[in-house]
Amino acid sequence: LKQVKRGSKIWVPHPEQVWETATVQRDYHKGDITIQIVKDSGTSVELSTKPDGSNLPPLRNPAILIGQNDLTAMSYLHEPAVLHNLKVRFCERQIIYTYCGIILVAINPYAELPLYGPSIIRAYRGRSMGELEPHIFALAEEAYTKLEREKCDLSIIVSGESGAGKTVSAKYAMRYFAAVGGSESETQVERKVLASSPIMEAFGNAKTT
């Protein structure tokens, strides 16, 4: 509660942009039932708050933390912070991949990008996650290394809405495995896995009554 004070940057709902930034105009104290803010658009607003402060608006991260390649590095990890960080990376920096711990978040650019050639595969070979920029190859390398070292079964779960790019992500992961494995059999596995993807997606999208 002490962090919500005059000059603090916060997030407030927006009817079109989902969230927008606002600035707190006076210190908030526990027990207050309103908070004075000015939105970035210039509009002054008085927000209602609960006396215990349980519904205070989420705080915005410092500017130095915006655009992080790992969401867990941010001071405040909530919906507006995540969405804004992904927006900055994708719209302003043209970066489609972002880590969230061991999870890789990918935004479908709906365009071919020069990110998956042999030179990129070589760059990620033998590197740990976090050494280079987030990439599907970094995730695949992590899995491949553990398979070699620990000799145990592993799974990479590719999840997302229809059209999010799940099949393409699986394709690039399999391409990496085929390249570092260097065997024709792995290429055949890649083809079989990708061929089964539409069937598996159909089952996943099916609804029963």
Question: Residue 143 corresponds to which tokens in the numbers above?
Answer: 């899995």
pLDDT for 186 equals 54
SS3 content of the chain, % helix, strand, coil (to 5): 40, 15, 45
Determine the residue type at 159.
S
Mean pLDDT confidence for 137-166: 90
* Binding-site residue set: 160-167
pLDDT for 209 equals 44
Give the separation between CA 95 and CA 68, rounded to whole angstroms. Answer: 11
* Binding-site residue set for ATP: 160-167
208 Cα distance to chain centroid: 31
Determine the residue type at 130.
G
- Give the residue, 52 or 163, on which the prediction is more confident: 52
- What band does 187 get if pLDDT is binned at 50, 70 and 90? low
Q: Is 76 helix (H, G, I), strand (E, B) or coil?
A: coil
How many percent of the chain have pLDDT more than 70?
Answer: 89
Q: What is the dihedral of CA 166, 136, 139, 165, to 10 degrees?
A: -10
Give the separation between CA 82 and CA 94, rounded to whole angstroms. Answer: 16
Give the separation between CA 178 and CA 192, rounded to whole angstroms. Answer: 13
How many percent of the chain have pLDDT more than 90?
Answer: 67
8 and 23 in contact (C-beta within 8 Å)?
yes
Q: What is the dihedral of CA 8, 11, 14, 19, to 10 degrees?
A: 140
- The kind and range of the H/E element at 110 are none
Q: What is the pLDDT of residues 8-59, one digit of tens each?
A: 999 999 999 999 999 999 999 989 999 999 999 999 999 999 999 899 999 9
Give the separation between CA 116 and CA 137, rounded to whole angstroms. Answer: 8
Strand ranges for the chain from DSSP E? 9-14, 18-24, 34-39, 44-48, 97-100, 103-106
- pTM comes to 0.84
Question: Residue 205 corresponds to which tokens in the numbers above?
Answer: 């999208």
- Give the residue, 3 or 173, on which the prediction is more confident: 173
Helices and strands, number each (H, E), in the chain: 5, 6
